[in-house]
Amino acid sequence: MVNKTGAVIGRMHRGQNVLVQLYKERSAEKVSTEGQVASQDRLGKLSSFLSNIRNMVDIGFKKKVKHNSPANAALSYNSSHAFIQVGEEQELNYAKLIYSIGDVEGPESPFLEYEDGMLNISWYDMEQSRYCQYSDLATILIYEPIVGDNTSFDNICPRSDLNVLLDISSFIGKEVHCYICFSSADGKDQGTNFYLGLVDVDDVNQEPLT
């Protein structure tokens, strides 16, 4: 004998009363809303960028990690400001992306020049302080956005050099985003990366950064 009582069924089984839940058919799989699809698209673009430079993120966000990974910390930090509206799409705002964050000072009035496969980056002298030492080391990131190709010049020169000349001829025919950040000589302290600009590596000469 079977009796229905609300959301359960009562029946006899081997001389005992047993209550079981009514069977419910599974509802059709929920369809993502346009907002959810857009959010997933943004997350995918940001995750791809950070994954392509994972080694730099691991170093640049290591002090931001508490109960998280550097990659997740960077993802969370960038999610609110990393995009710009382009037509109907939201694209990465490369000028706002942060892959390294810290107290070490960035470059003073950086200047960017390109000619014949060579990129020259220069900056002004600054008064020394706790987080601005002549011995601080510069790291440069060259990032090609279409397929995510990138090259980093790690600890390429000290701040006191005031400029660095880089061969980027491997990116001929492409446009690349350029970044710089400084870290302390011992590597214990990191600085926040600074966006230098977009370089068309086809061009013989680029306008200086303003």
Report pLDDT digits (tens) over 79-101.
Answer: 999 998 888 888 999 999 999 99
pLDDT band at 209 (very low <50, low <70, confident <90, very high): very low
Domain ranges of the chain: 33-101, 105-210
According to the model, what pLDDT value does residue 130 have? 96
CA distance readout (Å), 205 to 32, 144, 187? 47, 19, 34
Which CATH number among 1.10.10.10, 3.90.1150.10, 2.60.40.10, 2.30.180.10 corresponds to the domain 105-210? Answer: 2.60.40.10
User: What span, in angstroms and rounded, lies between the C-alpha atoms of 52 and 151?
Assistant: 10
User: What span, in angstroms and rounded, lies between the C-alpha atoms of 21 and 204?
Assistant: 75
According to the model, what pLDDT value does residue 31 have? 60
Q: Residue 54: pLDDT above 60?
A: yes
According to the model, what pLDDT value does residue 41 have? 84
CA distance readout (Å), 195 to 8, 11, 21, 96, 198? 63, 71, 60, 8, 9
> Which phi and psi (to 5°) does residue 28 adopt?
-60, 150
| Tokens representing residue 87 in the block | 């037509």
User: What span, in angstroms and rounded, lies between the C-alpha atoms of 8 and 152?
Assistant: 64
According to the model, what pLDDT value does residue 89 have? 82
Element of type H or E holding 76: helix 70-78
pLDDT in tens, 136-186: 999 999 999 999 999 999 999 999 999 999 999 999 999 999 999 999 999
| Residues whose CB is less than 8 angstroms from the CB of residue 44 and which lie 6 or more positions away in sequence, other chains included | none
According to the model, what pLDDT value does residue 30 have? 61
Q: Residue 210: pLDDT above 50?
A: no
According to the model, what pLDDT value does residue 20 have? 53
| Mean of pLDDT over the chain | 86
How many other C-beta atoms lie within 10 A of the C-beta of residue 166?
A: 18
User: What span, in angstroms and rounded, lies between the C-alpha atoms of 12 and 177?
Assistant: 73
Q: Residue 46: pLDDT above 80?
A: yes
According to the model, what pLDDT value does residue 83 have? 93
User: What span, in angstroms and rounded, lies between the C-alpha atoms of 83 and 89?
Assistant: 10
Q: How many CA atoms lie within 13 A of 151 on its CB side?
A: 10
According to the model, what pLDDT value does residue 34 have? 65
pLDDT band at 36 (very low <50, low <70, confident <90, very high): confident
Element of type H or E holding 49: helix 34-52
Of the two residues 194 and 22, the one the predictor is more confident about is 194
